[in-house]
Amino acid sequence: MLAFVLSSLVVAAAGEPAYLAACPQSDAKVVIGAVLNPRDDVHPTNRRARFLLDLGSDGRVRRAAIVESSGDARFDGDALAAAQQMRFAPPSEGCISPSSVAPETFDVPLISLVRPPAPGATGLAVLATSAPASAVTICAAPFVELTGLDVPDTRQTPGTVAVDVRLDAAAKVLGATLATSSGNAKTDAAGLALARSGEYGFHAQPGCAAKPTVYRLELTFH
């Protein structure tokens, strides 16, 4: 369901560092799934609700936003609350787990798509069409994904580094500052270097233009 792709992996010229054998690459995986029991009084007009989830380097959901509505605000709200309770095993690359982005979809039960007959009407209920949901009009900061990571030649002291990365409207790095220290100066320096040299991409909400943003990149070194 989920895939984390690093588009520009760089390793040592002499070959892959030996320590990487202990840290095989892995994608993000759901550990705690979403539980959603639709209310009886919801009447979506679309067959699904889709969300983007911003994940910390420990797999927690830091932020979630809807990108496709079911057509029913109550169903969307319940789905959003369920998505925020999910937990993931984060992706891993070169003994490093970075913060990441994951999509999540909630399918609308068929029974919820059945429209009740209008007052005074006769005959069977009519199945609602799965028309496209309207575009999101409230534009928040874009979701950011780390798409390229230069894996260091040496293993760092374990710890988590948080770096605030300033990105322009094309997701190019303008600068980076340490937000939270791992407690080890060398690990912090490695995290800053990775953040500055990393490649990033935007996942914008429908109807929202890309814009400069500050992304809190988390890197957990194992």
**Cα(164)–Cα(162) distance, rounded to whole angstroms?**
7
Helix (H) or strand (E) holding 58: none
Collapsing DSSP states into helix, strand and coil, what is residue 177? strand
For residues 19 and 11, is the Cβ–Cβ distance under 8 A? no
Buried b (16+ CB within 10 A) or exposed e, 110-125: eebbeeeeeeeeeeee
Residue 193 CB neighbour total at 10 angstroms:
14
Give the bridge partners for 180, in sequence order: 162
Question: How far is C-alpha 109 from the geometric centre of its chain's CA atoms?
Answer: 25
Buried b (16+ CB within 10 A) or exposed e, 149-166: bbbbeebbeebbbbbebe
Where are the chain's structural domains? 18-221
pLDDT in tens, 104-117: 999 998 877 765 54
Mean pLDDT throughout 112-132?
Answer: 45
Checking if the pLDDT of 122 tops 60, the result is no
pLDDT in tens, 157-194: 999 999 999 999 999 999 999 999 999 999 999 999 99
